[in-house]
Structure 1
Amino acid sequence: MSSDSQIIRTEYSDVMKKSYIDYAMSVIVARALPDVRDGLKPVQRRTLYDMHELGIRYDRPYRKCARIVGDTMGKYHPHGDSSIYDALVVMAQDFKKGMILVDGHGNFGSIEGDGAAAMRYTEARLSKLTQEVYLSDLDKDVIDFVPNFDETEKEPEVLPVKIPNLLINGAEGIAVGMATSIPTHNLGEVVDAVKAYMKNNEITTKQLLHYVKGPDFPTGGIVVNKDDLYSIYETGQGKIKVRGKVNVEELKGGKKQLVISEIPYTMIGAGIGKFLNDVCNLVETKKTGDIVDISNQSSKEGIRIVLELKRGADVENLKNMLYKKTRLEDTFGVNMLAVANGKPETMGLKSIIEHHVDFQFELATRKYKTLLAKELDKKEIQEGLIKACDVIDLIIEILRGSKSVKDARACLISGQTENITFKSSISKKMAAMLRFTERQATAILEMRLYRLIGLEIEALQKEHAETVANIAKYEDILNNYDSMAEVIMEELDGCKKEYGRKRRTVIENAEEAVFEEKKIEEQEVIFLMDRFGYSKTVDVAVYERNKEAADAENKYVVPCMNTGRICLFTDKGQMHQVKVLDIPYGKFRDKGTPIDNISNFSSSEEQIIFICDSEQTRYGKLLFSTKKGMIKKVDGSEFQVVKRSIAATKLQEDDELLDIHVVTDNHHVVLQTKNGFFLRFTAADVPEKKKGAVGVRGIKLGRGDVLEQVYLFEEGTEMKVEYQKKEVTLNRLKLSSRDTKGVKNRG
């Protein structure tokens, strides 16, 4: 170990805490959340800046996305190509962004959730909006540049965006312990709100909502909780309810069809397929019989999902059912979280506009200081050239009489005439009076002869007048708040005129969707399940007609009510419930559905040992028996639960549930072991326990022996079973007590 190294002892938890906080802040500020000033996440900002640097403008040819992604990753964003390409794709999708920032060429995905093509196939360039509104002033020293990750390049800390991009394009991001979700808004409305704030910074959120009506999603739709918007925009948090747009179209023969032409923003992607499945489920489960056919006719022109209805369908009730039972009405959770002054902050509408306006004044101040400095430099040079034109003969004499540029320059700047040959003493005296600045002297020495033409001199004087006017204008902007505000508002008006468009999302207060659920006609059905686990329900009359075949082909035949539940008990001690309505109802020869698909039961992990109707458990008692000979009675009411799966009993280690029977105190119980021991006792001898209990010992088992069969018969009835090809009459067995060895049957 070197002499200057040292070991620092510290608490491990303190190191972990500090490391995790550092990591969390890195994710929050430098990856997942947008900056309130330009509304962009670092990956978006870096991608747009890289495209600007590569010269991929809106009026130039497209370039391969792979080139853009590779360049961005190598220079500014070393976090993997997929994150960069994903960000690039989203900025080009007009169904996700209020205003697209990238003009994509090729397959950039679809509203139905299709992914974009690989980046080697797609091309992109900056959109006109991005070029002119987001990047146009980068050359005017309006923002700070910071070193990139390896300090070989400089990248902008923030882009000089002239419009509140955070509101216009919204944002989505998951950081550590926090997430942002900001809806998109209408550019024209947001610009009007910004101008209103600039005219009166005491304006309230309520007054701002006269301009910003609410979110404006690229997918349109209808916001139905207008009254909640004030609270959402005041606090920056809340829930917006969005519905799809549904129209009714008349068909021939008095039929109608529902056409969904706009969807909730939250339904983009897999949500459309999920909606179609949900509608199919409503039909299959007989929640509605009004839908005859469903088709997705969406295309590049827009969304068009058609539900064909039967004649006489209750259209309003069906619409309400779709709102209630599918994602045609959905909730958009708003959390307007962004990085402000280097820290994450949840902001309301006014606060975001306030930050934007402060940023615009900062940009304008730096821009016009830069422009003023340039104009002052121009003025200095122009004044020097105008003055030089007035004494051009003297300057030519100085140049001709000089031995070097250094001598000529010294004469022009400070009147040094020692090393210059003049034609007359008058010229020498006049030369000694010259006092041009260094810049003016350089411009005179570099001046071309054509500038001495009369028209060129006039143009120079005109240019000088313009420069003086610009200086006065810039100084007025920099020294006068109203002048600067006017310039910012003019730029905003220009953006609105060039890029503004009509609102797509309707904002209104709508009544809660209420529909009358069609009452299911209660009837008895027969549940059938074959040995492969395929299950179905059939009408009682159908079963009676095919009783012999049904009993032979199916492992379980259970009468039940169509409004009830089927209880599946497994060897692992679990009970799974499935609604009878979820089980396919149909013809006797229908294959049915695997029970695994409609319940929590997993055939790969457990086996069904008993199935009953939930009504059977309501008033009866169940006798539980395990392979290790444990038994108990449980009141059926303990299984009247809502959960889809519960533990039906407690099992000892390495034990399995063997059998379950519905039992009464009139029953006699016979336990038969693998080694041929039979024990008969009354069901009244079995204690009643809770479902969470292990139970009591039913029979004393010899070493290596296990319980194999459990038989029940009522007192006074005869029951015969076969054991090792020999008939055993159970009611003739000696009546004993529970927890004894029983009688050995020799077979």
Structure 2
Amino acid sequence: MTQETTNDKGSASVPSQSVPPAPGGAGGRGDVEDMYESWFLDYASYVILDRAVPNLYDGLKPVQRRILHAMSELEDGRYNKAANIIGHTMRYHPHGDMAIEDAMVKMAQKDLLIDTQGNWGNVATGDRAAAPRYIEARLTKFAKEVLFKDEVTEWQSSYDGRNKEPLTLPVKFPLLLVTGVEGIAVGLSTRVLPHNFNEVIDQAIGYLQGKSVTLYPDFLTGGSVDVRQYKDGRKTGRVKVRAKLEIVDNKTIKVADLPYGVTTASLIDSIISANDKGKIKVKKVEDNTAEFVEILVHLSPGVSPHVAMDALFAFTDCEVSLAPSCCVIRDTKPYFCSVTDLLQESVDHSKDLLELEYKIQKQALLEKLHLSSLELLFIEHKIYRKIENAENWDQVLATIRRGLKPFSKDMIRELTDDDISKLTEIKIKRITKFDRSKAEEHLVKLKEQIQEVDDKLSDMVATTISYFKKLKKEYGPGRERRTKIEVFETVEARAVAVVNQKLYINRREGFIGTSLKKDEFLFDCSDLDEIVAFTKDGQCMVSKVSEKTFYGKNIIYAGVFTRGDDKTVYHMIYQDGRGGPTYQKRFAMAAATRDRAYDLTRGNKGSRVHHFSVNPSGEGEVVEVILKPEAKARNKVIDVDFSELAIKTRSVKGLLVTKEPVANVDVVSRDAPVVESVDLWFDSKLRRLNVDKKGKKLGSFAGDDKIFTLYRSGSIELSGYDLDTYFDENILHMGKYSDDIIISCVYYHGEKKDYYVKRFKMEELSIGRREEFIPQEPGTKLLILSFNPEPAVEVSFKKGKRGTPDSEVLDLSDIVQPKGVKAIGNKLSRQSVKSVKLHKS
């Protein structure tokens, strides 16, 4: 039996042979427990320190470090076969080639440290890389500059003791924050989300300047991220990541970017699964992904693309939630921290490494200066001639030492035998061609270089800032942020669930469910809905849609229950117990505990409901309570106007109507639903309408009112004012539709190479159909948009014939009359236009 142990630096050592027997003889339960505890702790320590968790100072797991070290040893500027790199890495790695290959491919796909050639797989589609014998790699220029420096590297023995490998690489960059990492060890896990290269450098510089640090994730797959709960990357944080969805038309939604960790295959599977479960209605899903992600979701007839978009976020991998857990190895121990802590410690470590490198560089320059000065003295004062009569080596050394002794006060350091030995190795040819001026010029340059290093060492903060700025200038272009930071509005799954169930009711027996197909059909609903039912004896219960649920016998009303709904008002007239008085009550029910029976009466046995109605908009109604003939009251008909009754909670007793026996209740009149206008605002961050006064106010809306939206691409669209509508990006203007609005615009026609003006109304537009109001040829650009009834522009002209004006104010209403949306318009001017801007009258 063997046991794998770890040394005090956290690296795996050679497996030790045969565990010694425990005291007291073998086979006892205590012996087994002791051995299990020892082996488990050794294994846990090994997995944490040597496999799953990256080191704080270089941001690398051991396997990644060994791969990069092997690539550095093989580096000659040319590509190496991946198989060759994997084989070379196995000299340091105690595991097989598959583990190395997998780690290498993942590193290469992050496009920072490894320059690849061939098919290295696809992060978006999840396609695997080709076999290692077919693909090639080498270190990037960035990796060679930032990761390696033998002089400052601490080394350790490899797992078999045959080679030396770095304990950590001297990485002068917060590498882990850019690449990100995931790992599962024994008892803990780590997940550091990737961040933007340029932003990490900016924040590193800001930290060195004493500013606060703010970092948010950025993913190669793009999409958008909500970072409100990121909590600086700590273990308790969480982010939501969304795919980029675009409405192509009323029947098609395009997925353009993917959430982090999701592939096109897994996303399509999640959409198909949601469709099979009835969560969304999709006709087909088409994958057109090539260089860029493009998944087309074709909707079933009658499905709103806006509702479908919300359903994709709610029920598929178009939206995923990620929980960061920033755990690294610091001083051979796991260390939980924030991304700010990680950045600060990495930057401080980078500064220390730079300082150490400059000190080593200074020492090397001083050594060069020392030897060059000795050479100058040795040749200029012809000390080499004095060794001609020396009979042995000791006399040679002594002679040179005596010759240099007068200059010892000016030497950089004490003269050694090794220094003298180097002087004897100078060739005669160099001595005969010695040029004092060149030698002194060389010494001056060395002193200047030493001074430059001293200047850098005197202010390492400024030196480190300059270093990071250099990295950003050289390697930052092309690494702009890909993931858009947004605030996501929570999508309620129930609100966007597809109506996919048929609900049936047995009123007498009190059952409601989807399996009661022989009974009365109630209505269509979603399997996420909750159903509320009221019974003849004044009981009420809320329960989730199921195959069969008992609500209570003699159901008088059942409907979908909407939590938080305070507009729906219930009217009820009930008799309290057998022969008891009759009460009226008007109540709302915005909340209820599921599967709990509520008594809406006073709880006396024999109570029953004479009248019950549901009023979605809080309408009032007038009813007649007709008493039985044997009633003692003279007036046998009592009018009850519910609009005069205050709206209370469901537990209220209500007001007394009569103590006499009631025959029945008839409805006399009911108020028509009040169509109230609503003030709407548009939140450009959420790209949704709201009534919470967030964003730009659009106005008051009621009935058939519509919204028009103009986009920067030169298109326009009409829509309703449903709060669930999700608007596209690049909105130029949004407003309330009116037949009287005339839109004027000036644009540059890319094909005709000229400026055009057009004016149009929106009468011919249809709701939900986007129309282009300027041509879509390449080079066409919208320049001016105006809603002024009498718009004017200032036009600057190119130099032409003598007498032509340099500029002119033009009234657009004189140039073109309002026409259709698709009209091209008229030329802005016959002269060559230089520029145009809106005239402020």
Normalising by structure 2, we get a TM-score of 0.54
Q: Which of 510, 522, 525 does residue 488 from structure 2 map onto? A: 510
Q: Which of 130, 141, 144 does residue 117 from structure 1 map onto? A: 130
Map Cα deviations across residues 485-519 of structure 1 (whole Å, 9 max, x no partner). 22222221121112222100111212112443343
Distance 1:228 1:618, change over 3 A: closer
Question: Is the 2:504–2:517 Cα contact (8 Å) retained in structure 1?
Answer: no
State the partner residue of 1:488: 464
Letter of the structure 2 residue corresponding to residue 238 of structure 1: G
Is 1:8 matched up with 2:13?
A: no
Q: Aligned-pair distance for 1:142?
A: 1.1
Alignment of 1:28-67 (within 5 A): 28-55=48-75, 57=76, 59-60=77-78, 62-67=79-84
Letter of the structure 2 residue corresponding to residue 109 of structure 1: G
Distance 1:187 1:243 in 2: 21
Distance 1:372 1:260 in 2: 56
Distance 2:404 2:360 in 1: 35
Distance 1:256 1:381, change over 3 A: same
Is 1:245 matched up with 2:255?
A: no
Q: Aligned-pair distance for 1:122?
A: 2.4
State the partner residue of 1:227: 228
State the partner residue of 2:313: 323
Q: Aligned-pair distance for 1:133?
A: 1.4
Distance 1:563 1:239, change over 3 A: farther
Count of residues in correspondence between the two structures: 495
Q: SS of the counterpart of 1:227? A: coil
Distance 1:437 1:457, change over 3 A: farther
Gaps of 5+ in 1: 418-428, 526-538, 541-556, 565-578, 582-612, 621-640, 643-747
State the partner residue of 1:408: 396
Alignment of 1:252-263 (within 5 A): 255=250, 257-263=252-258
Q: SS of the counterpart of 1:196? A: helix
Distance 1:558 1:67, change over 3 A: same
Question: Is the 1:193–1:208 Cα contact (8 Å) retained in structure 2?
Answer: yes
Alignment of 1:223-372 (within 5 A): 223-224=225-226, 226-229=227-230, 231-233=231-233, 235-250=234-249, 255=250, 257-268=252-263, 272-284=264-276, 287-289=279-281, 291-299=282-290, 301-309=291-299, 313-372=303-362
Q: Which of 134, 148, 157 does residue 147 from structure 2 map onto? A: 134
Distance 1:561 1:184, change over 3 A: farther
Distance 1:456 1:44, change over 3 A: farther
State the partner residue of 1:638: none
Alignment of 1:566-645 (within 5 A): 615=548
Question: Is the 1:134–1:161 Cα contact (8 Å) retained in structure 2?
Answer: yes
Distance 1:295 1:335 in 2: 36
State the partner residue of 1:462: 441
Distance 1:477 1:287, change over 3 A: closer
Distance 1:559 1:256, change over 3 A: closer
Distance 1:456 1:399, change over 3 A: same
Normalising by structure 1, we get a TM-score of 0.60
Alignment of 1:520-599 (within 5 A): 520=500, 522=502
Distance 1:292 1:6, change over 3 A: closer
Distance 1:68 1:511, change over 3 A: same
Q: Aligned-pair distance for 1:343?
A: 0.7
Distance 1:36 1:486 in 2: 23
Distance 1:389 1:563, change over 3 A: farther
Q: SS of the counterpart of 2:156? A: strand
Q: Aligned-pair distance for 1:380?
A: 1.2
State the partner residue of 2:366: 376
Q: Which of 40, 44, 52 does residue 24 from structure 1 map onto? A: 44
Question: Is the 2:327–2:336 Cα contact (8 Å) retained in structure 1?
Answer: yes
Distance 1:466 1:247, change over 3 A: same
Q: Which of 160, 164, 179 does residue 170 from structure 2 map onto? A: 160
Distance 1:333 1:563 in 2: 43
Map Cα deviations across residues 515-561 of structure 1 (whole Å, 9 max, x no partner). 43343462789xxxxxxxxxxxxx99xxxxxxxxxxxxxxxx99699
Distance 1:616 1:310 in 2: 31
Map Cα deviations across residues 327-349 of structure 1 (whole Å, 9 max, x no partner). 10001110011111211011112
Gaps of 5+ in 2: 1-19, 25-29, 506-513, 530-545, 554-593, 596-841
Q: Which of 114, 117, 121 does residue 102 from structure 1 map onto? A: 114
Higher relative contact order (CA 8 A, sep 6+): 1
Question: Is the 1:384–1:436 Cα contact (8 Å) retained in structure 2?
Answer: no
Distance 2:519 2:68 in 1: 65
Is 1:441 matched up with 2:442?
A: no
Distance 1:416 1:172 in 2: 63
Question: Is the 1:282–1:288 Cα contact (8 Å) retained in structure 2?
Answer: yes
Distance 1:416 1:619 in 2: 114
Map Cα deviations across residues 542-584 of structure 1 (whole Å, 9 max, x no partner). xxxxxxxxxxxxxxx99699999xxxxxxxxxxxxxx9x9xxx
State the partner residue of 1:729: none
Distance 1:122 1:276 in 2: 29
Letter of the structure 2 residue corresponding to residue 503 of structure 1: R
Distance 2:243 2:327 in 1: 27
Distance 1:7 1:303 in 2: 61
Distance 1:15 1:6 in 2: 10
Letter of the structure 2 residue corresponding to residue 467 of structure 1: L
Distance 2:173 2:259 in 1: 26
Letter of the structure 2 residue corresponding to residue 157 of structure 1: L
Question: Is the 1:522–1:561 Cα contact (8 Å) retained in structure 2?
Answer: no
Letter of the structure 2 residue corresponding to residue 324 of structure 1: A
Q: Aligned-pair distance for 1:449?
A: 3.8
